[in-house]
Amino acid sequence: MFKYSSRFWLYAPSALFAALAAAVMIHWWMLAGPFEKKLAALKGREAIPGITLNWDKVEIGGFPFRLDANFQNLRIAGAGAHGPFSWRSEKFAMHGLTYGRSQDVYEAAGRQQIGWTEPDGDSRTASFQSGSMRGSSILGPQGLMRFDLDIAELGGPDFNLTRFQFHIRRGLDGNSLDLMVSADALPVGSKKPRHLQLYVTLPKGEPLLPLLRAEISWPEAVRRWRAGGGSEKLSNDPGGQSLAALLSPLY
């Protein structure tokens, strides 16, 4: 016959595992419920000042260690730095951990349609598909700290890129934003991709920080930044100057 101490060491690991599993399940459901309600409240309304989200269908998953939202026909529209912008994604997924730092990972698939306004007021549109389209964002006490976008095999009716990347982060001085954009293009008739890369710093960025905290609209943040003497500083790499036009609609 087992002694009580022997029984304890026999059953304790199983009981501990069951308790931990129950705690994980309860924690996930406690997060999933409010998350689903928050999404329902955002549908067709402003997610942050000046920017509206909508979609045809969303499914919540990721149990037990993630919160996943899988959207069909996601639409984002609002006021950009110089005028209206829009983005429509046939399939879009958002993944967030239920523990650790506040980081979300994004994936998009199918046809993508974007529209934006140039600094001169002209409206532009583009449609494309990609082999893969992934992004991530990291939040901190002061809002967005970093955003990264990586697209492979990006192609449209009049362009073809083997890879496109965009990164934005808060500067080390805490009062600026650092941006980087790079593209690997395969020119027509060439077998060797051409690599372009551009670094941009937005100094005197304090007026832009409320935008990263989702407190003011995008055009208002840019207006305050410009009024405070804000202007972009481009890298000296001549190969990346042709990419500057891609970033100009942002500010």
Whether the CB-CB separation of 201 and 232 falls below 8 Å is answered with yes
Q: What is the structure's pLDDT at 65? A: 66
- Residue 145: how many other CB atoms lie within 10 Å: 17
> Average pLDDT in the 17-33 region?
50
User: In this model, does residue 129 exceed pLDDT 60?
Assistant: yes
Q: Which of 26, 25, 248 is nearest to 122 (CA)?
A: 248
**Is the four-CA dihedral 49, 134, 61, 18 of positive or negative sign?**
negative
> Which pLDDT score is estimated for 196?
84
- The residues with which 247 forms a beta bridge, in sequence order, are none
Task: Report pLDDT for 32.
Answer: 60
Q: 75 φ, ψ to 5°? A: -125, 130
Average pLDDT value for the chain: 81
Q: How far is it, in rounded angstroms, from Cα 107 to Cα 96?
A: 12
pLDDT per residue as tens digits for the range 207-247: 999 999 989 999 999 999 999 998 988 886 666 667 888 88
Q: Kindly tell me if the per-residue pLDDT of 57 is higher than 50.
A: yes
How many whole angstroms separate alpha carbon 203 and alpha carbon 176? 5
DSSP per residue over 201-243, as a string? EE-S-GGGHHHHTT-S-HHHHHHHHHHTT---EE-S-GGGGGG
Return the top range by mean pLDDT from 23-32, 34-43, 160-169: 160-169
Percent of residues in the chain assigned helix, strand, coil, to nearest 5: 25, 50, 25
- Mean pLDDT of the 6-11 span: 49
CA distances from 94 to 66, 83, 103 (A): 10, 27, 10
Range 137-142 average pLDDT? 85
Decide if pLDDT at 132 tops 80: yes
Q: What is the dihedral of CA 73, 79, 80, 81, to 10 degrees?
A: 180
pLDDT of the residue at 37 = 82
* Segment 161-204, tens digit of pLDDT: 788 899 999 988 888 999 999 988 766 656 677 788 899 999 99
Question: Phi and psi dihedrals of 46, rounded to 5?
Answer: -70, 125
Burial grade of 170 (CB within 10 A; 0-12, 13-18, 19 or more): buried
pLDDT of residue 28: 43
CA atoms of 124 and 114, how far apart (whole Å): 8
Q: How confident is the model at residue 63 (pLDDT cuts 50, 70, 90)?
A: low
Q: Note the pLDDT of residue 188.
A: 60
Which pair of tokens denotes residue 29?
Answer: 């459901």
pLDDT in tens, 68-120: 889 999 999 999 999 999 999 999 998 877 666 678 889 999 999 999 999 99
